[in-house]
Chains A and B, each alone.
Chain A
Amino acid sequence: MITVTINGEARRFETALKVSRLLEQMALADKRIALERNGEIVPRSRFDQESVADGDRLEIVVAVGGG
């Protein structure tokens, strides 16, 4: 098991996994999102290549209403 902090919440996954797989598991695969891993942006074009490992901290954001 690995633990990943996503938007401040600890989440457990079976093994280390690709970003795209993680997003599928979280039902975010079809959403327009941007993702930061340990403070660095992971471009959407790299979601299939980049992995998430134990202890990683992710921020996943969307556009919301605001001024």
Chain B
Amino acid sequence: MDPLVIAGKAYSSRLLVGTGKYQDFNQTRLAIEASGAEIVTVAIRRTNIGQNPNEPSLLEAVPPSKYTLLPNTAGCYSAEDAVRTLRLARELLDGPKLVKLEVLGDPKTLYPNVVETLKAAETLVKEGFDVMVYTSDDPIMAKQLEEAGCCAVMPLASLIGSGMGILNPWNLMIIIDNARVPVLVDAGVGTASDAAIAMELGCHGVLMNTAIAGARDPVLMASAMKKAVEAGREAFLAGRMAKKPYTASPSSPTTGLIASARDKAA
């Protein structure tokens, strides 16, 4: 087998999925089942006070007994808020150590604030969290986050929720080459081929939400993503053929062809 090992724990799926933007919890549940994901992100938010006490809980759709829930810090714009959010998450989910850190810098682009991200990462690592960190595709930043003790580095492929795919494969390759922890593309994947390309580049996994939840048929797209990540991983392990620009090479034998009518005439 070819497990994805994060913070010492082995996972058989290299696809990590979010739980946001689905129509309802039933669709969330079906899509996540179809994706085959074992690690599932959740957000932490203030509870609605005084509203519908019988409101269903997300945790019924994605039970912690079945999935590794990965609490995130989406929406946090400072290291302090991110750290507080994950302390609450640890209490809420009964002490998971594995968390997804993201500290945003700008509500328009949702681009990460890497200075605050690094600050938060240092605090969280000190407090015993296993930090999977969302970051830009800057190879130096990725390395610094790894050196700060993060257990996985997760550069963006393009902006969160944009579905624009992998805009800078070269930076991702530098990050992968330099890293001694798993590198996962987090954000920007739009369709199955994007996920396959990320894996073919050598990413250890892919984390996505909108590409599945925003598809016309999210459950079918979840299944497509599962296959794309598996196919991309196998292609990476298999080692692709060398590209031979402008040089054709026939796949069939060049000898033993039947005589052509024109040859006979001559």
Contact = CB atoms under 8 A, between A and B. Distances in A.
Nearest to A59: B46
A63 B59 contact: yes
A64 B43 contact: yes
A62 B92 contact: yes
Interface stretch (A12-20, A28-36, A48-56): A28-36
A34 B49 contact: no
Kindly state the interface size class of chain A when it binds its partner.
Answer: 20 to 34
Contacts of B161: 67
Contacts of B92: 32-34, 61-63
Contacts of B59: 32, 63
A33 B53 CA distance: 13
Given A7-B49, A34-B92, A41-B87, A67 B58 contact: no
A61 B160 contact: no
A26 B49 CA distance: 7
Nearest to B91: A34
A34 B41 contact: no
Contacts of B53: 27-28
Contact of A6 (B49, B72, B89, B207): B49
Contacts, number: 102
Contacts of A34: 44, 88-89, 91-92
Interface in B42-59: 42-47, 49-50, 53, 57-59
Nearest to A39: B84
B77 to A, nearest CB: 15
A7 B91 contact: no
A63 B72 CA distance: 10
Contacts of B88: 34, 36, 41, 59, 61
B93 A67 contact: no
Smallest CB-CB A-B distances: 4 pairs: A66-B43, A67-B18, A67-B209, A34-B92
Interface of A: 6-9, 11, 26-28, 31-36, 39, 41, 43-44, 59-67
5 contacts: A8-B46, A44-B91, A63-B69, A67-B20, A67-B208
Given A33-B92, A41-B88, A67-B207, 19 more contacts: A6-B49, A26-B50, A31-B57, A34-B91, A36-B88, A43-B91, A61-B92, A62-B44, A62-B58, A62-B92, A63-B42, A63-B43, A63-B44, A63-B58, A63-B71, A65-B42, A66-B20, A67-B43, A67-B161
